[in-house]
Chains A and B, each alone.
Chain A
Amino acid sequence: MEDDILRQLKSILLEEESQKRAVLEKEIMALKNEISPKQISLRLEPMVSQKVEEIKSNMSALSGEALGVAIRAQIRNNKEDIIDALYPIMGNLIQKFIQAELEKLADNINKQIDDTLSWQSIKREFLGLFGIKQNNQLMTAAMKPQIEEGMVIYQNSGLLIGHYTSKGTLDQDMIAGMLTAIKSFVEDAFQQKGGNLDMIQYGTLKIIIQNSYKYYIVAIVSGAVDTNYKFKLLRYLSLFAERHLSKLQEENLSEGTVSALLDKHIKEFDPDL
């Protein structure tokens, strides 16, 4: 009985709130329906399509020459930014190369300085007395020419008959063939009377060629090769040819024998090898 009275009293007092709550619930349901993925996609699609069309038409306005001009202007106006962007790639490569070269040079110089009690050191001191700076002497010694490969090749066929190598990385048979083809090509192309190809320069390497009898001798030299060194080496190779190659056919020397003779002579020419 008391419960019924209380329920009636509650409904009279909260009638207005109950109506408001019912309205709110209706509104929430409507909103929920409106923000469902299906409804959002229906509303957004036309807007996105319109934006894409706008971007497309702007891009075509910038295409071709206009785009090129825009890029050029960007580069011109933002040099610093572009250098900043490229430096990590280019800079590292250049830095690595210079570093490797300097390390090689430093190693050579250190090796010579460490050798303080050697004959070379005494020689440097002695030359120093005549005004030749030790630095210059060390630099010259560090860049000293070194024979990396030596080959005795038939002039006509390009076949290898003897070789010397300090590293053994090249296929000397194929190098001999290609060198002969290059030599023939140059000599055929220019046809100078008595002309012979006597040197090819490639990077830090110089390929020095001494023609002799039916053969030619090749020395591949690294380091700083000056005219003096070149002529001294050519004279030495010529001497080798006179001593051994002139008798090659009569003595029927094998490739191994010619290689041993070449090795001996190259080491005689440069005792540091």
Chain B
Amino acid sequence: MQSISKKVVLVGNFGVGKTSLTRRFVFQKFADEYLTTLGVKIDKKIMSLPDLQVNLIIWDIAGEVSQTKVPKSYYLGANGIIYVFDLTRPSTFKHISEDLDYIQQLLPNIPYILAGNKKDLLSEDELKNTISGLPLPCEYLTSAKTGECVEEIFQDLTKKMTNRSA
């Protein structure tokens, strides 16, 4: 089976759960301390599609209030983006549009996925209210704690990056 590698960048504010989502999804080799020293940590996960094996090289970038503060070189050559925000903290999704505009300037035409994390902390009603107040429609509501939709976001992104229909 043919094998290809794709770079996935995980972005979002501080404390939204990017590292927890990655930890749910991959077997980690590098310690999380790299995030505080280098501002990035690399993980790997092999995804198998029917006709293709995809090595996802996941760049888990340390959270910043604005994405403009992340070193541009960390975005370079990315094949896909997962933008993570915290459903319980409006400050983490207030600037989604500006952040995505900035990322799309750096990386035009690459697929991205919006993931609202920490779903497990909200009741049904709270969740409805939060979703109605989001600046952009969000495809995935995830929980790194329960594992809900974690695998699905990576699968969907892999299909988008390899032009396989979702």
Residues of A within 8 A of B (CB): 154-160, 171, 173-174, 176-178, 181-182, 184-185, 187-188, 255
Contact = CB atoms under 8 A, between A and B. Distances in A.
Interface residues of B, number: 23
Interface string B22-59: 00000001100010001110111000000000010101
The 8 lowest CB-CB distance pairs between A and B, nearest first, are A157-B77, A156-B77, A177-B42, A184-B73, A156-B76, A157-B7, A159-B5, A181-B40
25 contacts: A156-B77, A157-B78, A158-B7, A158-B59, A158-B77, A159-B6, A160-B5, A171-B29, A171-B44, A173-B55, A173-B57, A176-B57, A177-B42, A177-B59, A178-B30, A178-B42, A181-B40, A181-B74, A184-B71, A184-B73, A184-B76, A185-B71, A187-B73, A188-B71, A188-B73
B77 A174 contact: no
B79 interface: yes
Contacts of A255: 3, 5
Contacts of A184: 71, 73-74, 76
Interface in B60-103: 71, 73-74, 76-79
Contacts of B57: 157-159, 173-174, 176-177
Contacts of A173: 5, 44, 55, 57
A181 B77 contact: no
Interface of B: 3, 5-7, 29-30, 34, 38-40, 42-44, 55, 57, 59, 71, 73-74, 76-79
Given A154-B77, A159-B7, A174 B44 contact: yes
B165 to A, nearest CB: 24
B3 to A, nearest CB: 7
A169 to B, nearest CB: 12
A180 to B, nearest CB: 8
A182 B30 CA distance: 13
Contacts of B42: 158, 174, 177-178, 181
A185 B44 CA distance: 20
Contacts of A182: 38
A204 B34 CA distance: 22
Candidate in B5, B29, B34, B39 with the most chain A CB atoms within 10 angstroms: B5
A157 B74 contact: no
Contacts of B38: 181-182, 185
A188 B59 CA distance: 17
B5 A174 contact: no
B59 A181 contact: yes
A7 B76 CA distance: 124
B152 to A, nearest CB: 23
A200 to B, nearest CB: 13
Which of A154, A184, A255 has the largest number of chain B CB atoms within 10 A?
A: A184
B34 A178 contact: yes
Given A156-B77, A158-B7, A188-B71, A174 B43 contact: yes
Among A159, A171, A177, A184, residue most surrounded by chain B Cβ atoms (within 10 Å) = A177
Contacts of B39: 185
A246 B48 CA distance: 31
B115 to A, nearest CB: 21
A259 B6 CA distance: 18
B76 to A, nearest CB: 4
Nearest to B28: A174
Contacts of B78: 157
A249 to B, nearest CB: 14
B81 to A, nearest CB: 13
A9 B42 CA distance: 113
A94 to B, nearest CB: 27
